[in-house]
A and B are shown apart, each in its own frame.
Chain A
Amino acid sequence: MLSHSVALDEPRKAVLLMGNEAIARGAIEAGVSVAASYPGTPASEIGDTLCRMAGRFGAHFEWSSNEKVAFEVAFGASMCNQRSLVSMKHVGLNVALDILNLASLRGVKGGLVLVSADDPSQHSSGQEQDNRWLAKINCIPVLEPSNPQDAKDCTRYAFELSEKVRLPVMVRTVTRLSHMRSDVTLGPIERQRRKAEFDWEGFSYRVAGFERLFRREKELNEKLDRVQGEFEGSVFNGLKIDGGESLGVIGVGFSFSYAIDALRKLGLENKLARLKLMTSHPLPTRLVSRLLKGVDQLMIFEEVDPFVELHVKALAKDVNPSLEICGRMSGHLPKEGELGPMIVGDALAKLSGMGRPCVPRLELDARVRQTLFDRMLTLCAGCPHRATVYALKESVKKVKGDLRSVVVNGDIGCYGLAHAPPLSFEDTYFCMGASVGVSQGMSQVGVDSIAFIGDGTFFHAGIPALINAVYNRHNIKVVVADNQTIAMTGFQPHPESGRTAMGSEAKRIMIEDVAKACGVDSVEVIDPYDLDEAEDAFTRMLKTDGVAMVVARRMCATEAVREMRPRRPAPFRVDPELCIGCKLCLSAFGCPSLSWVDDDAKASIDETLCMGCGVCSQVCPQEAIGRVAK
């Protein structure tokens, strides 16, 4: 749910913005000309905002097919003196590393800003990865905003810095900041467009020569020194030290918000020295040294890894060897997981010899956990993936007998929930596109497997693996759960959708055509809402020797309901006369619109949730489920 005020051309007006909207706004204010991304929580709303704003300000935004391509699109524009932005979730940068590495070594022309949205505590990710390490090994500066206002201002400044030192600049946000909302004062929007011109001198190796273009490590290190110099006096950092304080605090990026709140709550706001640090790499050592020399004890708050802590430790060895440094490395803070007001407050209170600022009700919380279900995530009512997995499971039973005779390699998307009961039919889950690759290693050593991949993920990273399967004669089966959108991150379009991020019509690139062009001979497209048709197709796929694929295509149910609103198809109803209470619809299929009524020992359908797909009526062996007459 995005706000309209993000696009207002009213400098100095204060509006309510989400952190991610503020980042998008910062890019627009800086006059960004090309922005590209691949959706991924917690970064998605940066693109969701830019796709609506870009056209109005003469810029281009696209959902690229993956993060590496997105980075290359942005870099290409930068080489032609245009400001460009690329945003992604933290693990997206693993995909884009190859080009980041060279963009930093060869340099940029137009400001190139990389937004990395890290996910402490893995709210929506498979790993808790701190991308500041990737910035460090690729020698690029990092800015870590502490609130939405900083996020906007930092992003805007990152373009200037990038142009000044000719390096990509990383703006690192974290889930809490990306998804928080607060007041942001808007700035003016740069509307001046630059002439797009390839920088021959900077990038063409015919002009620059092999030696000058490729061997640039020394230049890179000099650039970082210049950045450090710039960071020493940056307005984004704030040191408060009066002299005589024994304890100092460094709050890095968003963690500063927790730290300052805790200091206020404990009444220590004016008693401790503190540094708000938003320029975490390279470390402004002269600025930090002033704090290090002035205190006996230092507490460092930062999200995910002890990145700043490690660098501060190295610095302290030279400037104040007796300084006690407390943080994630020293055991004063947990080694992993997100910080929060309670962890930060407790740590500061303990160091200051004060009582805990808040005491959780651990015993009561434990009793509630005992009493209450966890509320597992589940596929939505009417989700076509549920029908796909149900039919696939039935045909595996039929062809192979035992469900354990085949390993189901899942992939990244809603359909990953196939592992959850009652379907429970997915065994592995790694990174984008991995299902197709790992299945080949399994088949090579004689273990049967099915690669279960979504449409967006197929375009992102499934294609090279599919080509490999055909070329290297791997005997794999691929099921594409095609709901025609990148659903999990907010229904973004992809190459099969027929429209671009900015809403123009696009050529539809069909997965079956791609698969055939990759050399897959056996490709079928089915509608998973027809269970018989689906089961037959899966059965043929399982019996095929070599690479075989079924594309199960049906629009995402949530998207379909939204498109039909306010109308919707008549819901289905359980006929209590015919229902024998076998519970198969609940125990084997488990659509959230179904429930069990204890009093009559019958199944029932919540008609406000039912979207009328009718798949449960095909599951019911008694034919007790039928559409409600309008």
Chain B
Amino acid sequence: MEPFRLVIAGVGGQGTLLASRLLAEAAMKSGLSVKIGETYGMAQRGGPVMSHAQIGGEVSSPVICPGEADVLLGFEEAEAVRRGVTYLKGSGLALVNRRRSPPAEVVSGMVEYPSRDRLMSLLSEVTPNIVSFDATALAEEAGDPIATNIVMLGALVASGCLPFPESTVIDVIEESVPERYHATNLKAFELGKRAFRGSRTVSPNA
């Protein structure tokens, strides 16, 4: 059996590591084998971060080959495109937080942040299945922008791609996150689900 393969792309500090860990715990709870791997050498310093997760099936290493991922969870628009074009399989699903986190070279005026159309047209060369929304705005609506990762998890669950049920993910969130943040997180999760359900897949020129 082939595993479910997920790539999470983002920037240091966005909570990508917690997201991948919550999914791994949910997979363990469901009796599925799981391997997750992360690169975050200098992630605290605004660098790009990426997690790979292989859930179910028979695999030993967490590392996914180019063009193999079933789903891309992009926490930041440019990082979503960077990793999506490499790792997503043709017709794979890209869930993209359209909130941008401009890097130092953009802030200091050395280079420009490419336009949304430009970025999405690159990604759409790989897949037409792109769902893009402002997950950070939804997290703010839920009470804390830091809950962006939970919004993204909500959207992922709503996509129906995960090999385990929503209730398992909610259980894991409640077990892993301190109780005082439960309300915010559950609201963020709900808003993420709604964002996916209310979305149509976007193509760049639509």
Q: Which residue of A lies closest to B90 (CB)?
A: A361
Decide yes or no whether A179 CB sits under 8 A from chain B. yes
Decide yes or no whether A272 CB sits under 8 A from chain B. no
Encoded as 1 (CB less than 8 Å from any A CB) or 0, chain B from 50 to 62 comes to 0000000011111
Decide yes or no whether A24 CB sits under 8 A from chain B. no
Q: How far is the CA of A374 from the CA of B61 in the complex (A)?
A: 27
Residues of B within 8 A of A3 (CB): 21
- Give which listed residue, B39, B61, B66, contacts A258 with CB less than 8 A: B61
Cβ contact within 8 Å between B82 and A368: yes
Encoded as 1 (CB less than 8 Å from any B CB) or 0, chain A from 365 to 386 comes to 1011001111111111000000
Cβ contact within 8 Å between A147 and B60: yes
Decide yes or no whether B28 CB sits under 8 A from chain A. yes
Cβ contact within 8 Å between A422 and B122: no
Decide yes or no whether A81 CB sits under 8 A from chain B. no
B residues 60-74 near A (Cβ < 8 Å) are: 60-68
- Give which listed residue, B39, B45, B62, contacts A417 with CB less than 8 A: B45
Q: Which residue of A lies closest to B11 (CB)?
A: A375
Residues of B within 8 A of A340 (CB): 63
Decide yes or no whether B190 CB sits under 8 A from chain A. no
Cβ contact within 8 Å between B82 and A357: no
Cβ contact within 8 Å between A377 and B46: yes
Q: Which residue of B lies closest to A147 (CB)?
A: B60
Residues of A within 8 A of B17 (CB): 1
Decide yes or no whether A554 CB sits under 8 A from chain B. no
Q: How far is the CA of A360 from the CA of B119 in the complex (A)?
A: 19
Cβ contact within 8 Å between A378 and B46: yes
Encoded as 1 (CB less than 8 Å from any B CB) or 0, chain A from 520 to 559 comes to 0000000000000000000000000000000000000010
Cβ contact within 8 Å between B145 and A373: no
Given known A358-B68, A596-B107, contact A364–B85 (CB-CB < 8 A): yes
Decide yes or no whether B135 CB sits under 8 A from chain A. no
A residues 402-446 near B (Cβ < 8 Å) are: 414, 417, 420-422
Residues of A within 8 A of B102 (CB): 595
Q: Which residue of B lies closest to A4 (CB)?
A: B176
Given known A182-B34, A380-B46, contact A257–B61 (CB-CB < 8 A): yes
Residues of A within 8 A of B126 (CB): 361, 364
Cβ contact within 8 Å between B65 and A376: no
How many contacts A-B (CB < 8 Å)?
A: 172
Cβ contact within 8 Å between A341 and B46: no
- Give which listed residue, A147, A360, A376, A558, contacts B66 with CB less than 8 A: A360
Among the 9-residue stretches B109-117, B157-165, B193-201, the one with 4 or more Cβ atoms under 8 Å from chain A is: B109-117
Cβ contact within 8 Å between B114 and A586: no
Residues of A within 8 A of B145 (CB): 608
Residues of B within 8 A of A123 (CB): 39, 41
Q: How far is the CA of A357 from the CA of B65 in the complex (A)?
A: 9
Residues of B within 8 A of A359 (CB): 66-67
Decide yes or no whether B94 CB sits under 8 A from chain A. no
Q: Which residue of B lies closest to A593 (CB)?
A: B107
Q: How far is the CA of A176 from the CA of B122 in the complex (A)?
A: 29
Decide yes or no whether B128 CB sits under 8 A from chain A. no
In which size bucket is the chain A interface?
Answer: 35 or more
Decide yes or no whether B86 CB sits under 8 A from chain A. yes
Q: Which residue of A lies closest to B115 (CB)?
A: A371
Cβ contact within 8 Å between A176 and B37: yes
Decide yes or no whether B25 CB sits under 8 A from chain A. yes
Cβ contact within 8 Å between B108 and A586: yes
Residues of A within 8 A of B79 (CB): 375
Residues of A within 8 A of B61 (CB): 176, 180, 254, 257-258, 261, 341
Shortest Cβ distance from A405 into chain B, in angstroms? Answer: 24
Q: How far is the CA of A586 from the CA of B110 in the complex (A)?
A: 10
Q: How far is the CA of A258 from the CA of B54 in the complex (A)?
A: 13
- Give which listed residue, A258, A373, A558, contacts B105 with CB less than 8 A: A373
Q: How far is the CA of A146 from the CA of B35 in the complex (A)?
A: 13
Encoded as 1 (CB less than 8 Å from any B CB) or 0, chain A from 264 to 291 comes to 1000000000000000000000000000
Residues of B within 8 A of A372 (CB): 78, 81-82, 114, 119
Decide yes or no whether A354 CB sits under 8 A from chain B. no
Decide yes or no whether B166 CB sits under 8 A from chain A. no
Cβ contact within 8 Å between B104 and A378: yes
Q: How far is the CA of A180 from the CA of B62 in the complex (A)?
A: 7
Encoded as 1 (CB less than 8 Å from any B CB) or 0, chain A from 567 to 592 comes to 00000000000000001001100101
Cβ contact within 8 Å between B36 and A414: no
Residues of A within 8 A of B125 (CB): 364
Decide yes or no whether A388 CB sits under 8 A from chain B. no
Q: Which residue of A lies closest to B37 (CB)?
A: A180
Q: How far is the CA of A3 from the CA of B176 in the complex (A)?
A: 9
Residues of A within 8 A of B65 (CB): 341-342, 345, 357-358
Q: Which residue of A lies closest to B180 (CB)?
A: A566
Given known A258-B63, A373-B103, A377-B47, contact A361–B85 (CB-CB < 8 A): yes
Decide yes or no whether A348 CB sits under 8 A from chain B. no
Shortest Cβ distance from A174 into chain B, in angstroms? Answer: 11
Decide yes or no whether A453 CB sits under 8 A from chain B. no
B residues 117-150 near A (Cβ < 8 Å) are: 118-119, 122, 125-126, 145
Q: How far is the CA of A414 from the CA of B41 in the complex (A)?
A: 12
- Give which listed residue, B25, B66, B107, contacts A592 with CB less than 8 A: B107
Residues of B within 8 A of A342 (CB): 65-66
Q: Which residue of A lies closest to B53 (CB)?
A: A181
- Give which listed residue, A124, A365, A596, contacts B86 with CB less than 8 A: A365
Decide yes or no whether A77 CB sits under 8 A from chain B. no
Decide yes or no whether A447 CB sits under 8 A from chain B. no
Q: Which residue of B lies closest to A260 (CB)?
A: B60
- Give which listed residue, A16, A180, A377, contacts B28 with CB less than 8 A: A16
Encoded as 1 (CB less than 8 Å from any B CB) or 0, chain A from 24 to 46 comes to 00000000000000000110000
Given known A182-B34, A372-B81, contact A590–B104 (CB-CB < 8 A): yes
Encoded as 1 (CB less than 8 Å from any B CB) or 0, chain A from 150 to 175 comes to 00000000000000000000000001
9 further A-B pairs in the complex, CB-CB below 8 A; given A182-B35, A358-B65: A182-B36, A258-B61, A264-B59, A359-B67, A361-B126, A373-B106, A420-B104, A586-B108, A586-B109
9 closest A-B pairs by CB: A124-B41, A378-B104, A257-B60, A257-B61, A360-B66, A375-B103, A123-B41, A358-B65, A377-B45
**14 A–B pairs (Cβ distance < 8 Å), ordered by A:** A14-B28, A124-B41, A341-B65, A360-B67, A371-B122, A372-B82, A375-B11, A376-B46, A376-B104, A378-B45, A487-B44, A488-B45, A590-B108, A608-B145
**Interface residues, chain A, with chain B CB atoms under 8 Å away:** 1, 3, 14-16, 41-42, 123-124, 146-147, 175-176, 179-183, 254, 256-258, 260-261, 264, 340-342, 345, 357-361, 364-365, 367-368, 371-380, 414, 417, 420-422, 487-488, 558, 583, 586-587, 590, 592, 594-596, 608
